[in-house]
Structure 1
Amino acid sequence: MSEQLAEVIASARRIVFFGGAGVSTESGIPDFRSGKGLYQRWLGPYFSPEDILSHHFFTNHTAEFFDYYRKNLLHPQAKPNPAHLALAKLEAQGKLSAVITQNIDGLHQAAGSQRVLELHGSVLRNRCVRCGTSYPMERILEAEGIPRCECGATVKPDVVLYGESLNQQVLDEAVAELAAADTLIVGGTSLVVQPAAGLTRAFTGEHLVLINSSRTALDSHAELVIREPIGQALGSAVS
């Protein structure tokens, strides 16, 4: 499979990569929907992870939100894996025009990627809900209970919670990148989270590659479907 992927990459002129949580599992960050994902962990009878990671819960149960958020979504020790590094290398070679990611961990940038469109925001950015002052992730990690700004208001992570809208500028840029690409590599995502997953419809190029551990709705449309770990697949195909 790696040889076939290498051939697709070699023939491509403008690649876009569209990725999800599976890209970062090899960095030790759990995904959400797999058998070992965050959504399988017992949280008690009252709230699901979707409930806790919602705007409503953040607003009405702020301390509990941050307790869950720190324990499950912040991984300051995580490092880029071969998938992140391979994508950064493709961009440096002029092959890849953009990474569109559903992840919030910042590992694509840590690997060296420059053009990263973060559909769901980033844990590395945090902002006061009142005055807009920006804070790094350390502000959240070091706070006891609810992180506060110097003005006294809550510091909110720049991540898109359930019930919140995606950034329209990021969406528009993602659609433009997909429409201009001749090759789309989709990796580490089950393509079930909307509206992000629906963006792939903007791609009308020549080559579609799927790298994921389980089936997706796009498998039947793909030129190449790979079930290997994404770091292994991309790492061996990018020279």
Structure 2
Amino acid sequence: MSELSEILDTSKRIVFLGGAGVSTESGIPDFRSGSGLYSQSSGTSVPPEEVLSHEFFMDHPDEFFEFYRTKILHPNAQPNAAHRALARLEAEGKLTAIITQNIDGLHQVAGSRHVLELHGSVLSNTCMDCGRHYTLDQILETSGVPVCSCGGIIKPDVVLYGEALSEKMLREACTQLAAADTLIVGGTSLTVYPAAGLIHYFEGDNLILINKQATPADQIATLVLHDSIGAVLGSELS
């Protein structure tokens, strides 16, 4: 922890790259752990990974939204110590960007402003026909397949399997990583691409990994902490 403190004190351009483990401490399950979403029943005859695909959404929107509402949406979740600590780092002028694989919007709720959401956000939804935008609260007020006033299906602005990530978002993430002097990677196993490959764009001095389990990048990191990211950042930046 003393080494972490020294690195953060001397850093001027910190970027944070986070995954599902950042939000598990807010009560949002991850995907691939033993108790994660993919180990649970989808309530359909197909696995959760397939339910969350573009093809399944188009072919079976009713089953998709039943799963989406019960398993993906967590409207009562609140930011945890990690979210709040990162927001403080940004407010102090040290953290320049958060690159997240999460879709829950908790970084923004905590006060972070420069958040690059690689996989989109449940907070935003768009009619597939006319392009009208809808909030999460508006979706929660509906049942079944949400339909726009024009009659089109409203799709969550999240990246489903079979859909491409935003090239603009990826370019911005690479730009931020290339300019950073410190990269904190937290709550991710670094096994899901293309997000996992983003660390190769980091050219700075300090790579900090905070994750309960080992990652493929542990051997090249400046500092590795196998612990809860909320416990580490929360105590360090309190």
The TM-score with structure 1 as length reference comes to 0.97
- Contact 1:32/1:38 (CA < 8 Å) preserved in 2? yes
Q: CA deviation at 1:219?
A: 0.6
Instruction: Quote the residue 2:181 is aligned against.
Output: 182
Aligned length: 238
- Contact 1:3/1:237 (CA < 8 Å) preserved in 2? no
Instruction: Quote the residue 2:132 is aligned against.
Output: 133
SS at match of 1:64: helix
RMSD: 1.1
Distance 2:158 2:42 in 1: 21
Instruction: Quote the residue 1:41 is aligned against.
Output: 40
- What pairs up with 1:170-209 in 2 under 5 angstroms? 170-209=169-208
- Contact 1:127/1:135 (CA < 8 Å) preserved in 2? yes
- What pairs up with 1:52-201 in 2 under 5 angstroms? 52-201=51-200
Q: CA deviation at 1:45?
A: 8.0
- Contact 1:70/1:140 (CA < 8 Å) preserved in 2? no
SS at match of 2:25: helix
Q: CA deviation at 1:141?
A: 1.8
Map Cα deviations across residues 19-66 of structure 1 (whole Å, 9 max, x no partner).
000000111111111111101113368311110000000000110000
Q: Gaps (5+ residues) in structure 1?
A: none
Distance 1:148 1:44 in 2: 23
Map Cα deviations across residues 125-165 of structure 1 (whole Å, 9 max, x no partner).
00000000000012222212100000011000000000000
Instruction: Quote the residue 1:13 is aligned against.
Output: 12
Distance 2:166 2:43 in 1: 32
Distance 1:46 1:144 in 2: 21
Distance 1:50 1:4 in 2: 39
SS at match of 2:232: helix
My pick for the range that moved more, 34-43 or 109-118, is: 34-43
- Contact 1:53/1:65 (CA < 8 Å) preserved in 2? yes
Instruction: Quote the residue 1:216 is aligned against.
Output: 215
Distance 1:67 1:172 in 2: 34
Distance 1:45 1:99 in 2: 35
- Contact 1:128/1:155 (CA < 8 Å) preserved in 2? yes
The TM-score with structure 2 as length reference comes to 0.97
- Contact 2:187/2:210 (CA < 8 Å) preserved in 1? yes
SS at match of 2:156: strand
My pick for the range that moved more, 206-215 or 37-46, is: 37-46
SS at match of 1:236: helix
**What amino acid sits opposite 1:114 in the alignment?**
R
Instruction: Quote the residue 2:237 is aligned against.
Output: 238
Name segments (4+ residues, structure 1) moved above 4 Å: none
Distance 1:186 1:77 in 2: 26
Percent sequence identity is 60
Distance 1:41 1:52, change over 3 A: same
Q: CA deviation at 1:108?
A: 0.3
Distance 1:68 1:142 in 2: 16
Q: CA deviation at 1:179?
A: 0.3
Q: CA deviation at 1:197?
A: 1.2
Distance 1:162 1:189 in 2: 18
- Contact 1:139/1:147 (CA < 8 Å) preserved in 2? no
Distance 1:44 1:117 in 2: 32
SS at match of 2:98: strand
Distance 2:141 2:173 in 1: 34
